[in-house]
Amino acid sequence: MKEIVPAPPPIVRNQFETIRELFTKNVVPSYGRFELALSHGDGSYLFDVNGRRYLDLGGGIAVCALGHAHPAITAALVEQSKQVVHVSNLYYHEPQGRLAQALVELIGPGKCFFGNSGAEANEGLFKLARKFGHEEGRFEIITTLNSFHGRTLAGIAATGQDKVKQGFEPMMPGFRHVPFNDLAAMRNAISPATAAILVEGIQGEGGVTPATPEYLLGLRALCDERQLLLLMDSVQCGHFRSGRFQSYHRILEGVPGGDTFLPDGISMAKSLGGGFPMGAFWVRSPYADLLSAGTHGTTYGGSPLACAVALKVLAVIQQEQLEANARSAGEFLRTGLDRLARMYPGVIRNVRGLGLMLGLEFAAGIPNLPGDSNKTQAVRLTNLMHAAGLLVIPAGANILRLLPALNLTRGEAEEGLRVLETVVARLAE
């Protein structure tokens, strides 16, 4: 039989260069990628095309809640896809209804909308805020400096970092930024046009900075006083990563007034699907019907397949007590990192974060840090960790993030600390 389209040559092991070439020729170069081509994973380990094993403490940037190739996710994908993968949101189906119910039970009285990514979840919150303020002509959303809210046009307008906006001006109107954890700045920024405030419970891309309890409680009171929606972007810090379902649950633990705290809207993604692309937002009861029929939608959001996987991720987290593990493994890592910071104060400046969302701030201008000096220290440090068999995520100029699977074991955490210590000790020489 005549072949109309010749089959591409198979990619065999040890062909990093071939894969990179495919990207160079065919993939939009919007990412600065590391020199690694990954082929498969197993739990908290990933393997490159040369068969080299890496301990993955980056978790796909807080996505792979159960690690890689978890059999329960595979089973959920297989079982649900034998029934039905997709039906339009013109119809009802059980997995979406059950997932919405599970999230409402975990957060509080309200309703959920399902999309496909964190940026799309935030877009939903922006539209909610606009609808909320529409009759009074209010449309503005105040966000914080160093925040990150996604790469869509509204997402970059909402993000409090200039680097994501450059080249894409004019920005979509209706967003202003004030310093994070500064209640007075937020209060002063409110204008007659303001409809909502949006913050991350723990800033992620901005360098792993948790909100203080006073800030969260203060924002709630401010929003009540000025009739604003309090919106929280939990895309990175949510889904048990902090050691509780939402980072505000963890931050406000034991704080007077903390147990009744509830935002008006929450965006979710990343760990929600454990690697299956999905996003969602929850909206609190009084506002849950604002986005009425015909006002918002998405073709793929909340498909039976996505929701079946997300339900399975939740079930495994519950069965295997991964909320508690995120807390104890996080504390173990944190103690080890604090020890490193004390031992090598010339290299490590600061350790921040909660649960399995940790940031390691390195000193600026480490003298013997190898690598291209045009790259940030964070990128050069990440390259060093890769060479030592550890995957971590850079943030800002000098920060490395640890966002591992919620089922990280004690042994894996120890291994991670050992590798980090070896690299840091060499830098301190």
Ligand X SMILES: Cc1ncc(COP(=O)(O)O)c(C=O)c1O
- Contacts with ligand X by CB under 6 A lie at 61, 117-119, 122, 148-150, 200, 204-205, 233, 235-236, 269
| Cβ neighbour number for residue 69 with a 10 Å cutoff | 15
Spatial distance between the Cα atoms of 151 and 120, rounded to a whole number of angstroms: 9
Smallest separation (angstroms) from ligand X to the CB of 349: 22
In the complex with ligand X, which residue's Cβ is closer, 41 or 275? 275
Residue with the shortest CB distance to ligand X: 118
Query: What pairing do the DSSP bridges indicate for beta strands 279-284 and 265-268?
Result: antiparallel
Contacts (Cβ under 8 Å, ≥6 apart) of 119 = 149, 150, 151, 152, 155, 279
Smallest separation (angstroms) from ligand X to the CB of 339: 28
In the complex with ligand X, which residue's Cβ is closer, 138 or 270? 270
Query: Are the C-beta atoms of residues 180 and 146 closer than 8 Å to each other?
Result: yes
The half-sphere exposure of 212 on its side-chain side, counting CA atoms within 13 A, is 7
| Secondary structure (3-state) at 23 | helix
Task: Name the nearest CA neighbour of 389 among 61, 19, 58.
Answer: 58
In the complex with ligand X, which residue's Cβ is closer, 96 or 203? 203
Q: Which amino acid is it at 272? A: L
In the complex with ligand X, which residue's Cβ is closer, 180 or 336? 180
Query: Are the C-beta atoms of residues 195 and 143 closer than 8 Å to each other?
Result: no
Spatial distance between the Cα atoms of 200 and 252, rounded to a whole number of angstroms: 14
Query: Are the C-beta atoms of residues 115 and 126 closer than 8 Å to each other?
Result: no
Spatial distance between the Cα atoms of 264 and 40, rounded to a whole number of angstroms: 40
Smallest separation (angstroms) from ligand X to the CB of 151: 6
In the complex with ligand X, which residue's Cβ is closer, 405 or 419? 405
Smallest separation (angstroms) from ligand X to the CB of 269: 5
Smallest separation (angstroms) from ligand X to the CB of 77: 19
In the complex with ligand X, which residue's Cβ is closer, 119 or 229? 119
* DSSP string of 294-318, one letter each residue: TS---SSTT-HHHHHHHHHHHHHHH
Smallest separation (angstroms) from ligand X to the CB of 118: 2
In the complex with ligand X, which residue's Cβ is closer, 19 or 61? 61
Smallest separation (angstroms) from ligand X to the CB of 355: 16
Spatial distance between the Cα atoms of 185 and 428, rounded to a whole number of angstroms: 39
